[in-house]
Structure 1
Amino acid sequence: MKNILKKFKLPIGVAIVFVALFIFAPDAAARSSKVAYEYFLEMVFILPPVFILMGLMEVWLPKDKIKKWLGNDSGLRGGILSLVLGTLPTGPLYVAFPLSASLLHKGASITNVVIFLGAWAALKIPQLMIEVKFMGLNFAIMRFVLTIFALILMGSFMKAVLTRHPDKKWLESNKGLSDQ
């Protein structure tokens, strides 16, 4: 019983908050329930294609190719590829997390995965076009370039932090990041 409570402490905590909200603030509970329901529907429609894409990625992209193109020895080419792959999609960021985990498991470097995630979050091409319209070309280019530098720094920092303790279990399905 203790293990079950420990394993599901977040959902149990959320349920307790919802019950308290329904008791003490029914209007806020109704709004909160509506938002949660809409988010759930969004997840139901977005995540299945993501898992299909991950399955196809497992089959179509061999581990040795991922290591070659995005691994520790990929250098500048891996960083540029991560940046380009991250700027192309227009979906929500949470779609990128399972894809990133798959890339890590296949041998992509931590640096390149962080660059990919950051580019997905901050460097989308449609976003850049809208930014140019409202903020101006100079601002958009400056933000884009500074974001690229920031992503490279973040990727390097994350690699330094996560590989400092290779005995720690950072990912659920591997014993550490010593091979990264």
Structure 2
Amino acid sequence: DWGVYLMAAANNIENQNKKNKKEEMVAEKRRQKFNQNIKKTIKTIIFWWLILLGFRYFFPDRFSAAISMSSRYLKEMILVFPAVLVIMGLADRWVPTSMVEKYLGHNSSFQGKFLAVFLGTLPTGPMYVAFPIAAELLRKKASLSNVIIFLGVWASLKVPQLGVEIQFVGLKFSILRFIFTLISIFIIGILMEKIIDTSEFNEIE
């Protein structure tokens, strides 16, 4: 009996050690990811400051107009992004990785691509809202081709945009542009999936 108890205790200790090591690895990966994001943010800020300085040097007459337009975009982003982050947080809790992988993953075939088209045509928000959503889909193991299709359709084939397009350039033009643009987006998505490694986006287990 004592031997059984000792073996059970040893197994429990071993399992607990494995669990602790796994938690430490996950925490370390998250710290590394956080540090990488901080570095990327700093580099992005420096890059845009250099762009602004260059613009001011070469186009001093247009600098104030550029700053004014940039300020409007920044205010819009500040108003929109909190809601986007809340929605993404809820989706992260309520939409499991297995569901995203099933319907938009590498084995989703053309059904996943048409679902990406459907999701991309619905929104009416600006393009920069789509990028964090795309990153979240990649993190939850959606295929890169489906994410590219989602982004491409969001950018050029949204339903409200098509309604306005039909009014100005006609139904035939709009339908043909929709078809050829969609074919191009499919090709770009498939090619980019062959070229780009998406392992860095995989969700930390």
TM-score over 0.5 (shorter chain):
yes
Name the structure with the higher helix share: 2
Cα distance in 2 for partners of 1:68, 1:58 equals: 16
Task: Report the equivalent of 1:155.
Answer: 189
Residue 89 of structure 1 deviates from its aligned partner by 0.1
Pairing 1:117–2:121 present: no
* Structure 1 residues 57 and 135: alpha-carbon distance in aligned structure 2, compared to 1, 3 A threshold: same
Task: Report the equivalent of 1:8.
Answer: 42
Task: Report the equivalent of 1:178.
Answer: none
In structure 2, runs of 5+ residues without a counterpart are 1-37
Task: Report the equivalent of 2:127.
Answer: 93
Cα distance in 2 for partners of 1:23, 1:150 equals: 39
Q: Does the 8 Å CA contact 2:166/2:174 hold for their aligned counterparts?
A: yes
| 1:1-180 map, 5 Å | 8-16=42-50, 18=52, 27-163=61-197, 171=201
2:125 maps to a residue whose letter is G
Q: TM-score scaled by structure 1?
A: 0.81
SS of the aligned residue for 1:90 comes to coil
Residue 10 of structure 1 deviates from its aligned partner by 4.2
Cα distance in 2 for partners of 1:5, 1:48 equals: 22
Cα distance in 2 for partners of 1:139, 1:24 equals: 40
Aligned pairs, how many? Answer: 167
Q: Which has the larger radius of gyration?
A: 2
Report the identity percentage: 40
Cα distance in 2 for partners of 1:114, 1:13 equals: 25
Cα distance in 1 for partners of 2:133, 2:39 equals: 29
Give the aligned CA root-mean-square deviation in angstroms.
2.7
Bigger relative contact order, structure 1 or 2 (CA pairs below 8 A, ≥6 apart): 2
Q: Which string of whole-angstrom CA distances, capped at 9 and with x for unpartnered residues, describes residues 69-127 of structure 1? A: 00011111101100000000011111000001100111111111011001100111111
Cα distance in 2 for partners of 1:34, 1:158 equals: 36
SS of the aligned residue for 1:55 comes to helix
Cα distance in 2 for partners of 1:37, 1:145 equals: 36
Cα distance in 1 for partners of 2:158, 2:39 equals: 40
Moved over 4 A (4+): 4-7, 16-27
SS of the aligned residue for 2:196 comes to helix
Residue 8 of structure 1 deviates from its aligned partner by 3.2
| Bigger mean CA deviation after superposition, 11-20 or 108-117 | 11-20
* Structure 1 residues 125 and 25: alpha-carbon distance in aligned structure 2, compared to 1, 3 A threshold: closer
